Every structure is written in structure tokens, then in C-alpha cells.
Chains A and B, each alone.
Chain A
Amino acid sequence: EVQLVESGGGLVQPGGSLRLSCAASGFTFRFYSMSWVRQAPGKGLEWVAYITTTSTTIEYADSVKGRLTISRDNAKSSLYLQMSSLRDEDTAIYYCARGSGSFLGDLWGQGTQVTVSS
């Protein structure tokens, strides 16, 4: 089955760290660029980070630059988001998405909840 499955979310205190993972299956992961997108409670979609097939190009939203780091391991068909210096406003459902040059995501994971609270 073609799918993306996120994991690693949870409750973390402000200033803390968390590492999200996204496991891909059913397709050739190394052929696709990937993104992370988040959605705060009751809010719209916000693109967070992007990485190309061989990690040569990486882009971030200004709101996360310097605190969140996207990476991938093509041998493991996995995408990661290392999150540090977390803030209350980082509380959201985080989705990984498979992309192309024309769109952010034609395949999305089910999402993983990150809650930043003391």
C-alpha cells in the first residue's frame, strides 16, 4: 500500500526538543521531494519545511528557521523533522507530504500531534 506514516509526536515543555519521523512505503521514496506541513488547533494549513530528493535543497518557513531541521534517509525511506527550542505556537498536527514541482503534496500521512505546554 502506498502510504506515509508519521510518528514521534507528543507533549513537550517550552524550550524542549522532539524528533518526528515519517515512514514511506509502497513507492520509491528517493524519487520524490518531501515537505512537512502543520495545522494548529482550529486553524489552517501552514507549510513548514521542504527537502529535495538528494537533500541538496532545503527550505524553511521563517517561523521555524533555526529551530526545526528537516532531513531524510533514502536508504530507510524515511523523512525526519528535528524540533528544538519549541514554543507554545508550535503546537499543531504535523503532516508529512510527498511532492513534486507542481504541488506540495499528492500523498499525505495521517499526522502526528505535537503539544508544547508546561
Chain B
Amino acid sequence: DIQLTQSPSSVSASVGDRVIITCRASQGISSWLAWYQQKPGKAPKLLIFDASTLQSGVPARFSGSGFGTDFTLTISSLQPEDFATYYCQQANNFPYTFGQGTRLEIK
């Protein structure tokens, strides 16, 4: 199985800050990586797929990059509604796996 390791596990930041979350795969997954945002009590929301393609309706302050084993999610200027937990997920092969999550908190 492909393991995904996110870092950091949690981060505190302020509105307007730039935040980078990384996701490392235990083996190469080409560009088959997606990022999700989840708020408490809500279903996950797809932000980015194919490592860098922004899902329709997602603000442009979110961006993704990477290939192979190392990927990043960048939020260029944090907004109040961005405080949530973020997960990466690989779609290279089964079993689909998620990272353990990164909790983004208000400083």
C-alpha cells in the first residue's frame, strides 16, 4: 500500500499568511494526487486534483504542485473560512489512501 505522510500535522497561522502543506508518498504516484478540505461536522471538499488542477469553484489562492513522491498545497493568503483540516489522497492505485491530515488553526 502507498503511505502518504503530511507535514506539519498541525499549524497555527493568521489571516493573510501564506501556508504550505506537504505530502510525501512512499512510492512514486506520478501526478495522481488530490487535496481535500474538511471542516468540523462536514463532508470533505475537493480542492485540487492531478496534483495541480484547481477544482471548479475553488478560490485561486489555493494551488498545488509536485510529481512523483513530493507534493505541496499552498494557500497564498489565508482567509477566515480556510481554517480547517486538509488531507491529501493518492489515486495512483488501490487501495486509495489518505494522508493523516493537517489541522490549520487560527493563531
Binding site for B on A (CB under 8 A): 35, 37, 44-47, 50, 59-62, 95, 101-106, 108-111
CB-based nearest B residue for A63:
B95
A58 to B59, CA, bound (A): 34
Contact A110:B43 (CB < 8 A) given known A103-B89, A104-B34, A104-B91: yes
Distance in angstroms from B65 CB to nearest chain A CB is: 16
A103 to B52, CA, bound (A): 12
Are the C-beta atoms of B98 and A102 separated by less than 8 Å?
no
Top 8 A-B pairs, shortest CB-CB distance: A108-B43, A47-B96, A103-B34, A103-B49, A59-B94, A45-B98, A102-B49, A44-B101
A95 to B42, CA, bound (A): 10
- CB-contact partner of B44 in A45, A59, A101, A102, under 8 A: A45
- CB-contact partner of A46 in B32, B43, B49, B98, under 8 A: B98
Binding site for A on B (CB under 8 A): 32, 34, 36, 38, 43-46, 49-50, 53, 55, 87, 89, 91, 94-101
A8 to B97, CA, bound (A): 25
Residues of B contacting A108 with CB < 8 Å? 43-45
Are the C-beta atoms of B87 and A103 separated by less than 8 Å?
no
Residues of B contacting A110 with CB < 8 Å? 43
A-B contact list, 9 entries, CB within 8 Å: A45-B87, A47-B89, A47-B96, A50-B96, A59-B95, A102-B50, A103-B50, A103-B89, A104-B96
A45 to B101, CA, bound (A): 8
Are the C-beta atoms of A61 and B95 separated by less than 8 Å?
yes
